[in-house]
Structure 1
Amino acid sequence: MKYQFNVAMACDGCKNAIDRVLTRLGVEDKSISVEKQEVIVTTDKPYELVEQTIKKTGKEVRSGKVLE
């Protein structure tokens, strides 16, 4: 499945924090853009689990959707 999230990120530190938690979750295929405030992941993990994992960084997930 491919998911897209709109996440409030201010800097590369925010990006790196999200990258770390997603990697720990086992998500290797990901694109994180501070400029677009966007996180796109391709994984077999459930949507809700990925969303909660991103939220654990303290970042606001403004919206999200399943792309595929």
Structure 2
Amino acid sequence: MTKHEFEVAMTCEGCSGAVTRILNKLGDVKFEIDLPNKLVWIESDKDVDFLTETLKKCGKDVKYNGTK
């Protein structure tokens, strides 16, 4: 699986909670959230565009930083 890094405009625990809920719905992904640095790492075989659109569902700005 590829590990992708995203920058998500999270400012609080509520924001990271929203990201967690959305990503948990995908099922077959592993992810880590770094709230202080506003980063989300997602391990998945899913398409980057799909992951980006999924993250945008939490209502925050999302930027794809590449693979890690």
Deviations 1:10-67 (A, max 9, x none): 1011001001111101244111111010000101111111110100110111x21331
Which structure 2 segments of 5+ residues have no match? none
Identity %: 34
4+ aligned runs moved over 4 Å, structure 1: none
Equivalent position of 2:21 in the other structure: 20
Equivalent position of 2:3 in the other structure: 2
Number of corresponding residues: 67
Equivalent position of 1:41 in the other structure: 42
Equivalent position of 1:57 in the other structure: 58
Which structure 1 segments of 5+ residues have no match? none
CA distance in 2, matches of 1:43, 1:15: 19
Q: CA RMSD in A?
A: 1.3
